[in-house]
Amino acid sequence: MNLIQATRDGRIEGTVVRLVSDRPEASALDSARQLGVPTEVLEPVRPGARLAREAEERLLEIVIEDAPDLIALCGFMRLLRKSFLDRVSAPILNVHPSLLPAFPGLEPQRQAVESGAGTTGVTVHRVDAGMDTGPIVVQASTPILPGETAEGLADRLLPIEHRLYVEAIQRIQREKT
């Protein structure tokens, strides 16, 4: 909802035209609907790192229908195929709660805490066909506090994710002008 709010209060130019999720239980779906943003759930939902091919084809149809200037992935825990990425001209961004390339993939907060790292952070990057491997747009670091849990770290990183995602989109928008 952070990005919807940012478009409405002028921090980001534009409008969120649709919220698409691969998780039917995502709370963001209800929040978006309450704010008047159309939503869609990609079907079929299957376990695994990649979307079902049918779901990815539907996502491509949505992108073609909506013709967005930018696609922002939030909590989207799937890899997109190169064939999909090659057909989308809009930048695709993802936010990840670590200082990539450290701790890619699932549960980066747990990975950071268990590794004994003293610092972690948030990365917004362009999406490519790899797992959290696309070019970095912006990062911000924060210390891992003594005795901190993965859950506590995740809670502390969330406001940084929100701030940084807006900053990354502003940067992409400036590059276009």
Q: What is the pLDDT of residue 34?
A: 96
**Tell me: the pLDDT tens digits for 31-81?**
999 999 999 999 877 777 888 899 999 999 999 999 999 999 998 888 999
Catalytic positions, written as ranges: 96
Q: What is the pTM of this model?
A: 0.93
Q: For residue 93, what is the enclosing H or E element? A: strand 92-96
Question: 134: helix, coil or strand?
Answer: coil
- Domain 2-176, second-level architecture: 3-Layer(aba) Sandwich (3.40)
Contacts of 155 (CB under 8 A, 6+ apart): none
Domain range annotation of the chain: 2-176
User: What average pLDDT does range 72-99 have in this prediction?
Assistant: 94
121: left (phi over 0), alpha (psi -120 to 50) or beta: left
Q: What one-character DSSP code corresponds to residue 145?
A: P
